[in-house]
Amino acid sequence: MPLAETEQFGVLEYEDDAELLFPRGLPGFEQAHRFVLIKQPDLTPLVQLQSLDSPSLCFLSMPVHAIDSDYQSSILPEDSELVGLGPDDGASTVVLALLSVTDQGHLSANLLAPIVINLTRHLAVQAVRIDTAYSHEHLLLAERGPSC
């Protein structure tokens, strides 16, 4: 099994077929093309997207439908072609939202540019939507008022 040095997990052992290829990299991280998904049962539905090219690059993510059960995917034809998705490939597709902390310290999800993964071909792309149906800072935890 291949090994990868990571900042967060130390030496990571992974299956050959677990590697995902981002042909264009990710916006802002174009040099990072190879990633693996790390699932930890006690953190479900959170998933970590660990770069195999850069030990310090790891993104926290979760399935878009865990955030918004009515989420409507929209992927440009060129993105579908890049990862080899056809109209009937829904069962072999995973769509993740990258998570981040806003300037105000809130946890948010990027539903505007989800990660679309073709599990059959091990190809992925960050598919930036051309509409404004979703935000790049969809708040996950709303502020709570004082409790009784």
The C-alpha atoms of residue 61 and residue 90 are separated, in whole angstroms, by: 19
Instruction: Look up the pTM and report it.
Output: 0.88
Q: What share of the chain is helix, strand, coil (3-state, %, to 5)?
A: 15, 40, 50
Q: pLDDT tens for the chain, 148 residues: list them.
A: 888 888 888 898 888 889 999 999 999 999 999 999 999 889 999 999 999 999 999 999 999 999 999 999 899 999 999 999 887 766 689 999 999 998 888 899 999 999 999 999 999 999 999 998 999 999 997 554 444 4
Phi, psi of 147 (to 5 degrees): -90, 155
The DSSP secondary-structure symbol of 90 reads G
- CA–CA separation, 89 and 75 (whole Å): 13
Report the pLDDT value the prediction gives residue 6, as an integer from 0 to 100. Answer: 87
Q: What is the C-alpha R_g of the chain?
A: 16
Tell me what pLDDT residue 23 has.
96
Give me the pLDDT at residue 148, please.
42
Supply the pLDDT for residue 89.
66
Predicted local distance difference test score (pLDDT) of residue 64: 97
pLDDT at residue 90 in the model: 66
